[in-house]
Structure 1
Amino acid sequence: MRRDDEGRSDDEPVGQTANPSSDGLNSTNNEAPPIQLLVRVGDNLPRVTPPGYAVATDLLAELLDGIDRPHAFAPPDRHTGLCRICGATATLTFEHIPPSSAGNDRRARSSPGLPLLTSDQPLNFPKTGWTPAQRGVGGYVLCKPCNEFVGQRYILEYGQLAAALRKQVDGAFAALGHAVGGLDLDLAGWALGDVARAGLVTVMDVAVHDRLLRRYPELTNVVRQPGTPLPSTLRLGLTVVLGTRARLSSPVCQADPDGCVVFSEAALAPFSWTLSFLEPGLRSLPHTADVSEWLHHGQNHRPIHAQLKLPVGAVVSPTPGDYRPASLIEANLPTDR
């Protein structure tokens, strides 16, 4: 059986961690709230309100409005809905999240995030409760014109850069015998604006209905009019990731005594794309490189100087934004006393 460069067989499914609703990708159970606060028992942490908490909760209430309705998050079936790029009501087409040109073209298994987040073995993919995805990780989220526009303009460059990064990461691993913590890259000659727009589409794809566009309508032009910058309160982040799992998340909040981070994520090796919301009082997601400036480049613009240090992590945890290796996660799991 042939295996790819990450050790995954052709018919071995990718584990997809999806939006943490209580009953699947498209929660319609009105008895259980789709957003739940998880508190680990026994931590003895002080109950303090972190900075930015009120801003984060108000923002999430807006971005996640309607998450308990059908077809809210990466819907797996064809339907008439709201395009995540232009906001038009249309019969939506299937979009690979992230693009199939980066290796997302194999059968996958999809699981909602909440059972994994609350499991005493969160790194083990569940034996039951998952659904098959024969075409790879994705959903019916784009109208046909937007899907074709992105495919024709941006996807080829995206796939070529993904292949080049895979080769470089594998080379570093072979030389050192372990994964590297970061890569110093010379990206001169790559159409970085096109790559970033394809990456931005992946995190727009995991929005709830059109709620992201309602708050930030400029995002349509960022995708469809190359060179248009992001709104000033948004940040596009990029991390090189290892592993065979995908992790998709609509906007979520990470809160600690230092503050709150609100972000969405679409991750599958070799890229994890994140969109951080930098409303006043909120912080940016750590362990990501800010590539928002790439969006200023026009289509097929290839800079002669482009240096970037990209962090490298793993996608093994069900927790959005967690790039720790399995060994470190397991070492920090709570144990029975």
Structure 2
Amino acid sequence: MKRSLAKPQWILWVSPVIIVFTIVLSVLYGAKQIHLQTVMDALFHFDPGNVDHQIIRTSRLPRVVGALLIGAFLAISGALMQGMTRNYLASPSIMGVTDGSAFVITLCMIFLPNSSSLDMIFYSLIGSALGVGIVFGLASLLPNGLTPVRMAIVGTVIGTFLSSVSAALSMYFQKSQNISFWYNARLHQLEPKLILLCIPFAIVGLIAAFRIAKSITILSLGEEVAINLGQRTLLVKIVAMGAVVILTGISVALAGKIGFVGLIIPHITRFLIGIDYKWVIPCAGVLGGIFLALADVLSRFLNYPYEMPIGVVTAIIGVPFFLYLARTRGGEKHA
């Protein structure tokens, strides 16, 4: 077992300071620069007639809170998937989870246009379950389909297929402009009320993730080892995938598809602290939230004064990371 570079407690102790710093950066900087004193006034002496106060309260604060939550949810989902399957390439964006969610939301917007925000969350959860079910089901039918690279290929193919069908349907029914949001996630369109609606679902997903953390640690050592130690592996996998479906589903419902967070952050977390999922899950959540929030800040300056879609920023980092893993790790499963 590799020696960890840092104690997980250090990450959790330092993270509040970094999170506060990230929130300040996100609120202050963008197409319109806002002074710190204006931010303080907006928080404690809100003036509905002040445009800057409105921007802070209704746009930038919900945006950074949403980025922190979504980054945490996707990172935890990726950590669960990688630990459960022992597949170092597993992540919601690669294994069809986010594509399934966006696909069902597309169907919902076309055929059920009057659906409420709560309905959209439920449809997103159904889509997440559909995507992961198709990918894992198809991979299990192929020879050596559950190896990391082959499963990644299956996930990419299924995801591309679902995205293509969604695009075709949206063009045919003239819904392209509305549906483009779900495939080109833009955090500035986050709805504060939707964040509140997602919190109960997030709590359920997080509780499930933390409850099975010890079992995921054992399962990541190999299924035979887990069975010999008395683990009910099927139940653990069902609970883990349930948590992944919930956390990924609400992430897509909030901001659309955002790739590679669930791939990159779990690897960084395990590199820093080791493979004990009792610590990997909370630390991945913290690092994932900070990563996505900082990537969102960066997206505002790469093409200033215009904003670059957050998915482009995560892909710039994530694609080389994915290729590095595929090249250096081949078809092996991680321990």
Larger RCO, structures 1/2 (Cα 8 Å, 6+ apart) = 2
TM-score, length of structure 2 as denominator length: 0.27
Question: 1 or 2, which has the higher helix percentage?
Answer: 2
Question: 1 or 2, which has the higher strand percentage?
Answer: 1
TM-score, length of structure 1 as denominator length: 0.27
